Amino acid sequence: MCAHKRTKQKAAIRQVFASALGPLGPSEILDEARKTVPSLGIATVYRVVKELKKDGWLQAVQTPVGSRFQTTSKVQSPRFFCRTCQKTFNVDGDVGKLAQLAPKGFIVKCFDLTIVGTCSSCAVTITPDGTTKNVLSS
Amino acid sequence: MCAHKRTKQKAAIRQVFASALGPLGPSEILDEARKTVPSLGIATVYRVVKELKKDGWLQAVQTPVGSRFQTTSKVQSPRFFCRTCQKTFNVDGDVGKLAQLAPKGFIVKCFDLTIVGTCSSCAVTITPDGTTKNVLSS
DNA sequence: CTAATTGCAAACAGTTTGCAGGCGT
DNA sequence: ACGCCTGCAAACTGTTTGCAATTAG
């Protein structure tokens, strides 16, 4: 009893995460996975995400626009949220030394770091003559 | 036209934030502010929070259990989220050096750092004989 | 064949809005 | 008195659950 079955819905959802550049929300997962399994329903997305979280394959992370999910292998990475395009990217970097910020007596499990700003695509526009210009005022 | 009026509801809500130890959610604000203004309704909490955000007095921050609000003066502080009591505390610490984690070409505006773990109250229980013991296994 | 899984729709929870009455200025 | 503000309830949006049909093993 209780064995998980392989279905095309689950395969499609895992594939979506495998090729994602950053954490995804339920509706993003649905839109992307429906390209493979058009009949997919949102309830299944939530249920599969819950199962994958329980299995430890996915984890929730917070972004300025709400909860998103990504594979556990990528989850400890710091993230960069672009206020212009509203997308989140994983970035490299070691955040282990942040443990020292915790007050005495507090047990540290992990970190959830989002750097907020403007990504390179949104910050810079290539002008026709080949130079670049910053499109932001502040 | 358009002038904001002073009401006891707004005063109560601001007071709640003034004495808060960390960012608060709508229902926490409601519970706390009702100690001063029992008739307060949740809709008013949302409306006042929106007004205070527009005024720049409050800002939203993300925690593992969703959006929370706190005064702008405290918002750059790193936070500690306790998985046991589900509360978030502000902690001291300078996160400015985290700017170097951002990829080249990315413009950094601010940071949103949550350290996740177990707070001192939840990690330790005072036993009857005055000693303390850790109640967590992992 | 059996039990897990799926899609739909209803149920829920959290947030926003319309409105009539109340209150600050 | 005027118009912003409040509380209630209805409307919305996003997430979860019940159920009958479907499908993997």
Condensed to tens digits (0 to 9), the pLDDT of residues B12-65 reads: 999 999 999 899 999 999 999 999 999 999 999 999 999 999 999 999 988 888
Residue owning tokens 């395969």:
A11
For the cut 50, the answer to whether the pLDDT of residue A60 exceeds it is yes
**What sign results for the dihedral spanned by CA atoms B13, B70, B26, B19?**
negative
> Residue B131: its pLDDT value, please?
52
The 10s digit of each residue's pLDDT in A41-50 is 999 999 999 9
The size of chain A, in residues, is 138
Q: Which of chain B's residues have a Cβ under 8 Å away from the Cβ of A124?
A: 105
Work out the mean pLDDT of chain A and round it to a whole number: 84
> Residue B95: its pLDDT value, please?
72
Tokens of A22: 């950053």
> Residue B137: its pLDDT value, please?
34
Least Cα distance to A98 among B85, B138, B112, B74 occurs for: B112
Q: How close is the nearest chain B Cα to the Cα of A36, in Å? A: 31
Q: Which of chain B's residues have a Cβ under 8 Å away from the Cβ of A107?
A: 117-118, 123, 136
Q: How close is the nearest chain B Cα to the Cα of A17, in Å? A: 20
Model confidence band, residue A138 (pLDDT cutoffs 50, 70, 90): very low
Q: How close is the nearest chain A Cα to the Cα of B28, in Å? A: 19
Contact call for residues B26 and B42 (beta carbons, < 8 A): yes
Model confidence band, residue A100 (pLDDT cutoffs 50, 70, 90): confident
> Residue A136: its pLDDT value, please?
40
Contact call for residues B125 and B133 (beta carbons, < 8 A): yes
**B83 at interface of A, judged by CB pairs closer than 8 A:** yes
B111–A113 CB contact, under 8 Å: yes
Give the CA-to-C1' distance from A24 to D8 in angstroms: 37
For the cut 70, the answer to whether the pLDDT of residue B99 exceeds it is yes
Distance CA(B40)–CA(B33), nearest Å, equals 8
The 10s digit of each residue's pLDDT in A23-36 is 999 999 999 999 99
Q: Quick check: helix, strand or coil at residue B68? A: strand
* DSSP summary character for residue A5: P
The 10s digit of each residue's pLDDT in B79-98 is 888 888 888 888 887 777 77
The structure's pTM equals 0.80
A-B CB pairs within 8 A amount to 128
